[in-house]
Amino acid sequence: MKAVFFVKGVDHSLNPLTRLIPKAMAPLLNRPMLEYYILQAKKAGIEDIKIILHNFPEQVERYFKDGKRLGVKISYSLEKELYGDFRCLRKIRSSLDAPFIFSDADFFTFLNWEKAVAEHKASQKMLSLVCAEFNPIKNHFEIQYDPESKKLLKINRIKKSRENEQTLLLTGLYLLEPDLLDFLDDKNINSIAQDLVSALLRKNVDINVIKTDGFFEPLSSLHYYWKLNLKLLEQGIFKEWIEGRPVKDDIIIGRGCRIKANFEEDAVGPILIGDRCEIGKEVTVRGPAIIGNNVKIDRGATITQSIILDNTYIGKMVELRDSIVAKNCYISLKNLFGTFVEENFIISDYLKEPLKVKANRLLIGLIDKTIALIGLILLLPLFLIIAILIKLDSRGSVFYVSERLKRPKFESKDKNHYQYIKEESVKYYVFRTMYENADNRLNESENKNVYKSGPYRKIENDPRVTRVGRFLRRTSLDELPLLINVLKGDLSLVGIWALPKQEAEILQAEGLRSDNLDMSEVARIRFQGRLGLAGFWQARGRSDLTAEDRALHDSFQSALISLSALEQERLGEYREVVSLRGYLRLLWETFIAVIKRKGAQ
């Protein structure tokens, strides 16, 4: 038998914890939730694992690889578009030649897989639903069945959560015969629970129901995630799979930890501590508490019923109670002070953005919209004059709409991995400066490109440009309609220029190389940046710069803007670039460059 797990990566009910990882990779007892699915499958004798991926696929593949570390064989399938679970199974039909167990890994289940497999085989049915008693939860499915024949009678989507009741809830775990994937010809069947089950009932096909003991948790909020972690630790449910050495019955410490004397005597379990942690003097931990890998807790800190994820520093005299601290956090105050944290949700850099950074961002957005609106109103007479000149000079529309890419499509694959990122595009509105059908004549001027390397294209003395168009380009007046994009929110006044579709795709695929320098990775950083009109490249030469100069300017600006608030604080003098002062300075420098016609062609 094979096990198939569906990791969609689009359920953000645990945000910000799942901001950059799929929900199935959220840690439980310092291991990803998906890992417990694999371990349960292995315990039931299932060692052939297939994982269907959609969003953040690299996170899963990088961690589990081929499964050898866990004693199983793992292969992957990637869905570019997110479809229902049954449709995804049909797409991998060729690899499913025997009965298999399937689960949506966005839920957490600890069930008796051996019993489920045995009951499915004994039923001789094409489909078995594994169910458990739980509170009715909105949008989940409750079932009714005949306890004697174990035949499904009815399935209903729950319209409203009811905390004080119990019902038989679908756990998202199914056992299927491969023939079921070919049984119905209806291509509109996407979901097992919503579409397939109903279709089978209409055809009077028996569906087996397996009511099993165990544990089911939909993890619909951070509060339930926090409770689940502490409950698993307290009840020792996964004790056999917890790595570390027990120093007391209820305290487990990972490898390579440095812990000051008397910690074990003062601590109140149960406590799980990951690998390579450092715990200072006079630290108090009252369990249940979970501390991840590479965590440092400084002198005098107090941790009570909390979860601290990997790579985190807890400073001196900090007190945490009933909290979750996300990865890569730094919580501290100056000496002689302490801080007390008691939260019902997760703490992370996502939520701890400094007020000054928030104010800067809001103020910059306000300035963008204000200048764009006032500019468009004041420039209306000029727009009218330019429109008349364009129409008198050549046939065609007044405006030219150019599709540009903030980020091109990205694909990466090998034997066991396929990564796909959708393109992000924006339409630039500018005054037309070329004759009609100029895009179709681009190859005629290929040898006149001012850039000697790279994907960028700028034709010297371009014959496709009209007489009025040359004036508009030299004065940059052709770009004035881009204020419409700023008003719409497509662009900021300060940012990098989006590339034409062909240039962006070439840069992504081929990079940027000269005779003695490969700048491909540096140049691609630009795809992470904020789009805008004014920036380093625009202010310091535009077409006068080489392709390498342009790549350095754009990527440096993109990298600075993409840094987190904490990282920006560590930039020192360079931090000014991403501040309000830096924003205004770049606006002024670009304005002066436009007035002087620097690099305009």
Q: Residues 493-533: pLDDT tens digits?
A: 988 888 888 888 888 888 787 666 677 777 788 887 888 88
Q: Which residues contact 204 (CB under 8 A, 6 or more apart)?
A: none
Do 288 and 210 share a structural domain? Answer: no
Whether the CB-CB separation of 315 and 331 falls below 8 Å is answered with: yes
Do 252 and 319 share a structural domain? Answer: yes
Within a domain: 187: yes
pLDDT (0 to 100) of residue 443? 60
- Helix ranges (DSSP H) in 81-165: 85-91, 113-123
Do 545 and 479 share a structural domain? Answer: yes
Do 292 and 147 share a structural domain? Answer: no
Taking the whole predicted model, whether its pTM rises above 0.85 is answered as no
Tokens of 247: 């120093």
Domain of 318, CATH number, reads 2.160.10.10
pLDDT (0 to 100) of residue 103? 93
pLDDT (0 to 100) of residue 599? 55
Within a domain: 232: no
Do 132 and 277 share a structural domain? Answer: no
Q: Which residues of the chain have pLDDT under 50?
A: 334-340, 342-352, 415-418, 566, 573
Within a domain: 224: no
Rounded distance between C-alpha atoms, residue 585 and residue 524, angstroms: 25
| Domains: count for the chain | 3
Within a domain: 253: yes
Mean per-residue pLDDT over the chain, rounded:
83
Do 403 and 319 share a structural domain? Answer: no
Do 576 and 432 share a structural domain? Answer: yes
- Residue identified by tokens 């931090």 is 575
Tokens of 4: 């198939």
- Domain limits at 447? 355-595
Rounded distance between C-alpha atoms, residue 85 and residue 191, angstroms: 5
Within a domain: 223: no
Q: What is the dihedral of CA 40, 41, 42, 46, to 10 degrees?
A: 160
DSSP H or E stretch at residue 250 = none
Rounded distance between C-alpha atoms, residue 219 and residue 303, angstroms: 24
Do 68 and 139 share a structural domain? Answer: yes
pLDDT (0 to 100) of residue 357? 67
Do 460 and 316 share a structural domain? Answer: no
The domain boundary, picked from 296, 324, 347, lies at 347
The domain boundary, picked from 202, 217, 232, lies at 217
pLDDT (0 to 100) of residue 331? 57
pLDDT (0 to 100) of residue 289? 95
Tokens of 373: 């609106």
pLDDT (0 to 100) of residue 325? 84
The domain boundary, picked from 315, 347, 379, lies at 347
DSSP H or E stretch at residue 155 = strand 151-157
Do 332 and 378 share a structural domain? Answer: no
Within a domain: 230: no
Do 258 and 154 share a structural domain? Answer: no
Domain of 73, CATH number, reads 3.90.550.10
Do 292 and 249 share a structural domain? Answer: yes
